[in-house]
Amino acid sequence: MQAFQISAAGCAPALTETDCPAPGPGEAAVALRACGLNFADLLMMKGTYQDTPEPPFTLGLEAAGVVTALGDGAEGFAVGDRVAVFGGSGGLAEAGVFSTERLIRIPDAMSFEHAAAMQIAYGTSHMALDHCARLQPGETLLVTGAAGGVGLTAVEIGKLMGATVIAQARGQDKLDVAAAAGADHLIDASEDLRSAVKALGGADVVYDAIGGDVWKAAFRSANPGARLLPVGFAGGEVPQIPANHLLVKNLTVIGFYLGGYMKFRPEAVRRSFETLFAWHGEGRIKPHISHTLPLAQAAEGLELLRSRKSTGKVVITMGGS
């Protein structure tokens, strides 16, 4: 089979011929049909992601496909089941082996592309805004990087939860995407973020995937008692948080990492995924996929993320039905 792998530390990923894996105890073999790309894939390529496997390994944190075989003791699934998997790696291949604890059955009406695009972006936003920040109807939510993979889902879910959503993104095309997802107010990245948010009454919850100066401006735009979620650092700089400002304004900063929750609260992540898949079936949410490419163009897909030329998700497909 083909897999988009990193063979050794410091090596660029490449499409490689490798043996099809066999499932071990508690595992399922899955014929993969689609894989969602994430900023974390770029960090893994540099070896800077917190959960980078030891090489050789296959990139691709989230995927979807069909169960083809089960290992000893694997329960809850059958050969032929259509599933999504947040495996943490292994998704950019024609097949993979994953613990059944990582699988979730997907509805017949849901495409593999949508299933592969939903888990990390929607799961991060839903868990962060609902489980962690307890976003309430009528509150104001600020989303930075609002046309990106996680930012766009935060706009959509925040609006579903009854918040007034302020979306910040770079350029009119990306702002239009955020507006279509439900944003009430739009701020271009060229504008003074703090002043613009303050003019709109400040933010009760901040959802930031950029870091650096964007985080600093968002932090200073927060209302007293606000909750702030640093969910990523796409801008490259990890900000330092002044504790005295937390004290004076009664602010709460909540670190959130979906992969970490998968380790110590997997049942919470599974409930979130089930809720999101139900919302998808009801037509309440729909992944925005700006690019769909075949496995042979996985490198081009990752470059779209690196250069910020995509909106929402980039999905790689592996064929089949």
Q: Do domains 2-119+260-317 and 134-253 have the same CATH topology?
A: no
| Domain boundaries of the chain, sorted by first residue | 2-119+260-317, 134-253
Strands 164-169 and 185-188: parallel
Closest C-alpha to 251, from 202, 201, 212 = 202
Write the secondary structure of 297-320 as one string of H (helix), E (strand) and C (coil). HHHHHHHHHHCCCCCEEEEEECCC
Which CATH fold would you assign to the domain 134-253?
Rossmann fold (3.40.50)
DSSP E strand stretches across 60-173: 62-70, 82-86, 95-99, 103-105, 140-143, 164-169
- pLDDT in 10s for each residue of the chain, 321 residues: 999 999 988 889 999 999 988 999 999 999 999 999 999 999 999 988 889 999 999 999 999 999 999 999 999 999 999 999 999 999 999 999 999 999 999 999 999 999 999 999 999 999 999 999 999 999 999 999 999 889 999 999 999 999 999 999 999 999 999 999 999 999 999 999 999 999 999 999 999 999 999 999 999 999 999 999 999 888 778 888 999 999 999 999 999 999 889 888 988 998 999 999 999 999 999 999 999 999 999 999 999 999 989 998 999 999 755
Q: How far apart are the first and last CA of the chain?
A: 17
Distance CA(48)–CA(14), nearest Å, equals 19
Tokens of 199: 């003019």
Burial class (CB in 10 A: 0-12, 13-18, 19+), 238: exposed
CATH of domain 2-119+260-317: 3.90.180.10
Instruction: Report the predicted TM-score, pTM, of the whole model to 2 decimal places.
Output: 0.90
